[in-house]
């Protein structure tokens, strides 16, 4: 009993101390867990949510994707109108940060390369497979380079956007801010008012010139066919005269070389016959020339008229095309890397393999002060008209000079300004960047430029678009057969990439199915 009591007395305090220690440890652990959880919540970016502006939305002018916040925001002339969470590219297949524009739309797109993967309400921004489309959103970057949006959100936006709408993918949060600068295009009211009538007038002149050229070409061809037999006859008569003259010259030599009376008589006889033959050949040739001169002159005049008409056709077609382009928003890209200025405008001519043709007829050197110094990447956009011209905004997505200093450093050639500034419209833009244009910029894109200081895994692991070496559109690019062509340079594609194996699994809806998720092996495609 004593032993039992003593043991009880001695173990009681130990249990109480042990219990207290356990409580203290649990408290410390709980506090530590709470602190860690709070830290984790602080470190985790705020979850993007879908939202619609509390006002009537206008037509979207631009979309800005923030890779940092995993959010896309669409803007009209007066500010943001729609926001939604997105899922961009995973590590190694990152969505490229840079400047893009919509180049193709497909309501029910399925990958032609990767297991028929479903990409609903696809809005393409590069031909090598980067796009905005509906898809599952796990709450973090999970795609293979595309920008996934909520299914219903992508469906809602699909019919509201247009080919050519600016898409800016920023590594950080970015938004357009109001901006003004003397270098930004400010159209003249008179030029804007006159532009539609001028385009219609020049279009009629181009059509008339095309008809005249076609008629002149046909008349020249008819005249050429009609004079073909005359030309052949004259050629034969000329050849006969040449032979007769040669025979006469030969008999003259024979007569001069004759030594005997008999030889002289024979040579004289030959000379007489040759003289008569040469005279007859000359007479026939002169008569034929006289008879055919009017017809030959008419054929020559028809050829000259056809050449002049073809020249006028080309000139009027170019003028008509320029006038039509003046009715479209203009986009200008200024690259510090290449020291060039590029102009793009949508012709709205559908290309058989998808997308629309963009005019690229202006590409000129540009002067940038202190060209060795970074200038950043700035997108200036004409948001709407105002009494004095256009209201502009700017979005900066890469460090360098501020937007004002960047514009101050650039001198746009006056002849370019004269061509595009007087009729600049809302949605026009000026992009200034340290970056060269990507090789993805081609005849079916506006501008594609990616930030070289940001990961591009989802971009560089894709096949580049095919190389185009020659003129990419016959006629005038607007569907008129007037002989004017847009010439496309041979853009050098990136080296053939090696595709990475698709990691894990992915969720998609099969063609025609409901909005449900099924686990399938993840494709590359446009994801």
Question: What digits encode the pLDDT tens for the residues 237-262?
Answer: 889 989 999 998 998 998 888 889 88
d(C-alpha 216, C-alpha 87), whole Å:
61
The mean pLDDT of the chain is 81
Provide the pLDDT for residue 297.
Answer: 84
Q: Is 504 exposed, middle or buried (0-12, 13-18, 19+ CB in 10 A)?
A: exposed
519 has pLDDT over 60: no
21 has pLDDT over 50: no
Selected catalytic residue, list 109, 110, 144, 146? 146
What are the C-alpha distances in Å from 51 to residues 23, 55, 75, 80, 81?
46, 12, 13, 10, 8
Q: What percent of the chain has pLDDT over 70?
A: 78
List, in sequence order, every beta strand (DSSP E) within 96-198: 98-101, 104-110, 118-124, 131-134, 147-149, 166-170, 177-179
Please indicate whether residue 133 is annotated as part of the active site: yes
Which residues, at least 6 apart from 219, have a Cβ–Cβ distance to it below 8 Å? 302, 305, 306
Question: What digits encode the pLDDT tens for the residues 215-238?
Answer: 999 999 998 888 887 778 878 888
What are the C-alpha distances in Å from 467 to residues 100, 443, 489, 490, 525?
19, 10, 10, 7, 20
Assign 5 to helix, strand or coil. Answer: helix
Mean local confidence (pLDDT), 108-121: 74
d(C-alpha 124, C-alpha 167), whole Å:
10
Highest-confidence segment of 25-34, 115-124, 248-257:
248-257
Provide the pLDDT for residue 114.
Answer: 53
Provide the pLDDT for residue 7.
Answer: 32
**pLDDT confidence band for 470 (50 / 70 / 90):** very low
Q: In terms of pLDDT, which residue wins out, 110 or 401?
A: 401
Mean local confidence (pLDDT), 396-407: 94
What's the whole-model pTM score? 0.73
Classify residue 89 by its DSSP letter: B
Longest Cα separation, the chain: 182
Provide the pLDDT for residue 413.
Answer: 95
Highest-confidence segment of 15-24, 107-116, 152-161, 503-512:
152-161
Provide the pLDDT for residue 472.
Answer: 33
Whether 309 contacts 216, CB under 8 Å: yes
1 has pLDDT over 70: no
- Assign residue 511 a region (left: φ > 0; alpha: ψ between -120 and 50; beta: otherwise): beta
Assign 262 to helix, strand or coil. Answer: helix
Provide the pLDDT for residue 167.
Answer: 98
111 has pLDDT over 90: no
Q: What percent of the chain has pLDDT over 90?
A: 59
Question: What digits encode the pLDDT tens for the residues 362-401?
Answer: 999 999 999 999 999 999 999 999 987 999 999 999 988 9
Provide the pLDDT for residue 448.
Answer: 97
Q: Is 494 exposed, middle or buried (0-12, 13-18, 19+ CB in 10 A)?
A: middle
Q: In terms of pLDDT, which residue wins out, 264 or 52?
A: 52
Buried b (16+ CB within 10 A) or exposed e, 209-227: bbebbbebbebbeebeeeb
Please state which of the ranges 39-43, 137-141, 367-371, 431-435 shows the lowest mean pLDDT.
39-43
Provide the pLDDT for residue 113.
Answer: 53
Please indicate whether residue 146 is annotated as part of the active site: yes
Classify residue 260 by its DSSP letter: S
Provide the pLDDT for residue 54.
Answer: 96
DSSP 284-329: HHHHHHHHHHHHHHHHHHHHHHHHHHHHHHHHHHHHHHHHHHTTS-
483 has pLDDT over 70: no
- Strand 79-85 vs strand 51-52: parallel, antiparallel, or unpaired? antiparallel
Selected catalytic residue, list 109, 110, 133, 144? 133
SS3 content of the chain, % helix, strand, coil (to 5): 40, 25, 40
Whether 69 contacts 120, CB under 8 Å: no
Separation of CA 326 from chain center: 18
Assign 148 to helix, strand or coil. Answer: strand
Number of H helices, E strands in the chain: 7, 23
List, in sequence order, every beta strand (DSSP E) within 67-185: 71-76, 79-85, 98-101, 104-110, 118-124, 131-134, 147-149, 166-170, 177-179
Whether 409 contacts 401, CB under 8 Å: yes
Question: What digits encode the pLDDT tens for the residues 312-342?
Answer: 999 999 999 999 999 999 999 999 999 999 9
């Amino acid at each position: 009993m004593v032993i039992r009591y003593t043991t009880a007395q001695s173990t009681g305090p130990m249990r109480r101390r042990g219990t207290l220690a356990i409580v203290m440890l649990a408290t410390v652990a709980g506090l530590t867990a709470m602190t860690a959880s709070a830290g984790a919540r602080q470190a985790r970016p705020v979850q993007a949510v879908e939202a619609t502006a509390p006002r009537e939305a206008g037509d979207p002018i631009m979309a800005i994707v923030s890779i940092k916040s995993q959010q896309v925001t669409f803007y009209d002339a007066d500010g943001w109108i729609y926001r939604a969470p997105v899922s961009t590219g995973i590590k190694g297949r990152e969505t490229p940060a840079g400047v893009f524009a919509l180049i193709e739309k497909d309501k029910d797109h399925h990958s032609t390369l990767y297991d028929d993967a479903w990409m609903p309400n696809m809005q393409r921004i590069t031909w090598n497979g980067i796009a905005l489309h509906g898809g599952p959103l796990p709450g973090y970057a999970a795609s293979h380079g595309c920008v996934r949006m909520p299914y219903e959100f992508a469906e809602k936006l699909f019919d509201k956007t247009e080919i050519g709408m600016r898409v800016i993918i920023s590594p950080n949060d970015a938004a357009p801010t109001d901006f003004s600068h003397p270098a930004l295009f400010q159209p003249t009211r008179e030029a804007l008012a006159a532009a539609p009538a001028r385009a219609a007038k020049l279009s009629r002149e181009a059509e008339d010139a095309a008809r005249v050229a076609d008629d002149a070409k046909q008349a020249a061809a008819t005249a050429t066919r009609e004079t073909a037999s005359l030309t052949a006859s004259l050629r034969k008569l000329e050849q006969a005269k040449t032979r007769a003259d040669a025979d006469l010259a030969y008999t003259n030599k024979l007569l001069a070389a004759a030594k005997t009376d008999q030889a002289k008589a024979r040579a004289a006889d030959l000379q007489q016959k040759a003289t008569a033959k040469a005279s007859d050949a000359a007479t026939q040739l002169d008569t034929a020339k006289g008879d055919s001169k009017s017809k030959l002159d008419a054929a020559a005049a028809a050829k000259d008229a056809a050449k002049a008409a073809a020249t006028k056709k080309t000139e009027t077609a170019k003028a008509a095309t320029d006038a039509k382009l003046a009715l479209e928003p203009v986009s200008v890209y200024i690259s510090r890397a290449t020291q060039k200025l590029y102009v793009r405008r949508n012709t709205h001519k559908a290309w058989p393999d998808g997308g629309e043709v963009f005019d690229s007829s202006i590409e000129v050197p540009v002067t940038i002060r202190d060209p060795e110094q970074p200038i950043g990447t700035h997108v200036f956009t004409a948001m709407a008209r105002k009494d004095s011209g256009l209201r502009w905004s700017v979005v900066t997505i890469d460090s360098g000079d501020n937007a004002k200093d960047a514009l101050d450093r650039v001198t746009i050639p006056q002849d370019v300004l004269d061509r595009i500034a007087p009729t600049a419209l809302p949605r026009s833009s000026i992009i200034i960047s340290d970056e060269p244009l990507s090789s993805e910029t081609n005849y079916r894109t506006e501008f594609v430029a990616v930030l070289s200081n940001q990961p591009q895994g989802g971009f560089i692991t894709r096949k580049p678009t095919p190389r185009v070496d020659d003129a990419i559109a016959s006629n005038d690019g607007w569907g008129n057969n007037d002989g004017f062509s847009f010439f496309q340079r041979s853009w050098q594609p990136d080296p053939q990439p090696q595709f990475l194996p698709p990691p894990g699994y992915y969720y998609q809806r099969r063609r025609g199915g409901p909005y449900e998720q099924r686990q399938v092996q993840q494709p590359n495609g446009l994801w």
